[in-house]
Structure 1
Amino acid sequence: MNKSKPDRPSKDESSAPPTSRGAKRKKRTRLKLLNSAMALFSRKDAQDVTINDITEGADVGFGTFYNHFESKDAIYEAVLFYAFDSFGEVVDAHLDRINDPAEKISTALRLTLREAKLKKDWGRFLVREAFSEMGLSSGLAPRLARDIDEGISQGRFKHGDIDLMTLVIGASTVGCISIGLGEDSTHPQLEEDKTLGQRFIEHALKTLGLPDDEANRLAIVPLPDDDLSERAF
């Protein structure tokens, strides 16, 4: 399975508003196929998933698949794009309202953890693909590096190794998602007063150089209420 960074979907596929019932129906069918594919790819290696598996999960006919995607590789690349780049762009829309790079990092991490908990297939897929070429070159990773760089430039952060801090915080985010997806089983860290995610974000901000009280405050700033992963698809 080719995991190179996929081309951005065309405007017709991703952003053009449906103008007819047929176009709306086609968009809904495409979404069903993408959701089915993500659910399968989040649990199995791509080579173990068939097009028939995807269409059965979407409850559409086998031939319908080819009205939307040329191949299994094509839908795999589309899922990669929507899981990483598209979600990252939606998060960026929220970060544009924030000036403080420390609050940007806290918000981006917390939005990611929240969406992974709300959309478990999405979270599992992120965990599986986080260290792939696509995962490292898009989505959270480059945005995290950007905001760390901004914080260092402004004197907000004291730690100067952008690559190392991006790796440490990014990998810890994946770890928190992985543990969070297993919350139905008892985990001692999840039984304490603070959630694992909150403690992780506090620690990440402190590691970057924020004072304890400020890191603790930014870890609980109210988040937007909207469902980002739904819009990302």
Structure 2
Amino acid sequence: MSIDRSNPRAMRTRAALIGAGRRLYRERPVDAVTVDDIVQAAAVGKGSFYNHFADREALVRAISSEIRASVETAVTLANEGVSDPARRMARAVCGYLRFGLDQAESAGVLVRIHSGHTSLSAPLNKGLVEDIENGLAAGRFTVATVEAGLLFVMGVTQLALVRVVQEPTPAFAVSLSQQMCALILRGLGLGGAEADLIAAQASDEIVRKGAAPAPPGETAH
């Protein structure tokens, strides 16, 4: 639905609806939130809702896309200057879980409304797909297909985020991210010792210390 972004009032209304949706979806399952709930929380008329969104599902998609875009920004920062697909994978997973600590409300919403952007062609999966493809081409990964790798990584990472949302403490997130990254890298085909080392480094640099730039001199293997 086209929105006149030059109209401040319209943009405020849209922001109020998205903000209300975020708050409600953080606390309740998607199916338990009605359009009436959303407009009441946003303090706008019901007609205003339909000026911006065709239905409740359209609002859910808008919120999900907005949050996932923020996650992608965090992952991009975490992987700045990193070229090795295995290290990029571990740092991306850790960036995702670090997002769960830094943006607890958004992470909680994402857990609730995760809409399964699992297609290879989904724009928000572009970076992950490229990393898996590059890992296969370089012989770093041995997973059967790109799609299998995508679903594996997304599944493990999403469930790890659920646990971080449930227990949002740095110590737990550091431990869990290290374990999950090692599991993912082993599942993609890396040897155990190297997977453990990369996982430990990524967890320390991204989850424990925050999304810092990659260490100087990091190069592909």
Fold agreement, TM-score > 0.5: yes
What is the CA-CA distance between 1:89 and the residue it aligns to?
A: 5.0
Residue among 77, 81, 85 paired with 2:65: 81
Distance 2:13 2:72 in 1: 23
Distance 1:124 1:184 in 2: 10
Whether the aligned pair in 2 keeps the contact of 1:136 and 1:142 (CA below 8 Å) is no
Whether the aligned pair in 1 keeps the contact of 2:20 and 2:41 (CA below 8 Å) is yes
Whether the aligned pair in 1 keeps the contact of 2:97 and 2:161 (CA below 8 Å) is yes
Residue among 158, 175, 195 paired with 2:159: 175
User: Residue 163 and residue 62 in structure 1: after superposition, are their counterparts in 2 closer, same or farther (change >3 A)?
Assistant: closer
Whether the aligned pair in 1 keeps the contact of 2:64 and 2:110 (CA below 8 Å) is no
SS at match of 2:117: helix
Deviations 1:101-128 (A, max 9, x none): 2232223212221223333343234334
Distance 1:141 1:170 in 2: 9
Residue among 164, 169, 180 paired with 2:148: 164
Provide the residue aligned with 1:135 in structure 2.
117
User: Residue 192 and residue 12 in structure 1: after superposition, are their counterparts in 2 closer, same or farther (change >3 A)?
Assistant: closer
What is the CA-CA distance between 1:37 and the residue it aligns to?
A: 1.2
The yes-or-no answer on 1:100 pairing with 2:84 is yes
Distance 1:215 1:197 in 2: 8
Provide the residue aligned with 1:118 in structure 2.
102
What's the C-alpha RMSD, in Å, of the aligned pairs? 3.6
User: Residue 116 and residue 35 in structure 1: after superposition, are their counterparts in 2 closer, same or farther (change >3 A)?
Assistant: farther
Provide the residue aligned with 1:231 in structure 2.
none
Whether the aligned pair in 1 keeps the contact of 2:179 and 2:199 (CA below 8 Å) is no
Whether the aligned pair in 2 keeps the contact of 1:88 and 1:139 (CA below 8 Å) is no
User: Residue 53 and residue 158 in structure 1: after superposition, are their counterparts in 2 closer, same or farther (change >3 A)?
Assistant: same
**Percent identity of equivalent pairs:** 26
The yes-or-no answer on 1:51 pairing with 2:35 is yes
Residue among 178, 182, 204 paired with 2:184: 204
SS at match of 1:136: coil
What is the CA-CA distance between 1:192 and the residue it aligns to?
A: 6.8
Distance 1:43 1:167 in 2: 27
Deviations 1:62-94 (A, max 9, x none): 44434433433432332233244x346535653
Whether the aligned pair in 1 keeps the contact of 2:99 and 2:107 (CA below 8 Å) is yes
Of 156-165 and 173-182, the range deviating more from structure 2: 156-165
Which ranges of structure 2 fall in alignment gaps of 5 or more residues? 213-221
Deviations 1:141-183 (A, max 9, x none): 5543331221121223344443333323221212211112221
User: Residue 36 and residue 92 in structure 1: after superposition, are their counterparts in 2 closer, same or farther (change >3 A)?
Assistant: same
Distance 1:68 1:11 in 2: 7
Provide the residue aligned with 2:21 in structure 1.
37
Whether the aligned pair in 2 keeps the contact of 1:129 and 1:135 (CA below 8 Å) is no
One-letter amino acid of the structure 1 residue matched with residue 182 of structure 2: E
The yes-or-no answer on 1:195 pairing with 2:175 is yes
Whether the aligned pair in 2 keeps the contact of 1:176 and 1:196 (CA below 8 Å) is yes
